[in-house]
Structure 1
């Protein structure tokens, strides 16, 4: 059986210690979003406040209030005061 399946040893090279890796500052992956946009995205992705399909963010927020799910107060204030996209993050994507 050994002759049929010949085994080869992999040559593993250890990295030399003389080369030092450059330390770079970590960059966030993906586009830069404002704090408000990140707050709205987290609200959209949190299924504890009910499904977000077929309704706007304001409708979902008010529905969560009606059912006593305690959505973040900042989300409601931001949705009513500012001019942001009212559609859910997952709108027309699924």
Structure 2
């Protein structure tokens, strides 16, 4: 219904923004869990941490080295895991995007 000035009145929203349900952490990938060890889980957390920049189109080691060169100080543990050669060098998203 139009008001005097020709504008329509908008009803107030009746929903609430609060919720009693707890949400899972944003960095947890439920659908991507499978058979992987603790080292792979550490690397996946590195992949999902945007602090170190984008990970698409480069290996994990390239991303780690870029972050180090930019002074972002990526964890030394990540470099150690990647240089051992026992883990996948491709990021979590390489075959999914």
> Does the TM-score normalized on the shorter chain lie above 0.5?
yes
- TM-score for the superposition, normalised by structure 1: 0.64
Unaligned segments of structure 2, at least 5 residues? 1-29
Q: How does 1:44-63 map to 2 (within 5 A)?
A: 44-63=47-66
- TM-score for the superposition, normalised by structure 2: 0.62
Larger radius of gyration: 1
**RMSD of Structure 2 on Structure 1 (CA):** 1.5
> How far apart in 2 are the matches of 1:89 and 1:58?
13
Question: Runs of 4 or more off by more than 6 Å in structure 1?
Answer: none
| Aligned-residue offset at 1:82 | 2.8
Matched, 1:93 2:62: no
> How far apart in 1 are the matches of 2:35 and 2:87?
16
Equivalent pairs, count: 66
> How far apart in 1 are the matches of 2:54 and 2:83?
20
> How far apart in 1 are the matches of 2:95 and 2:78?
22
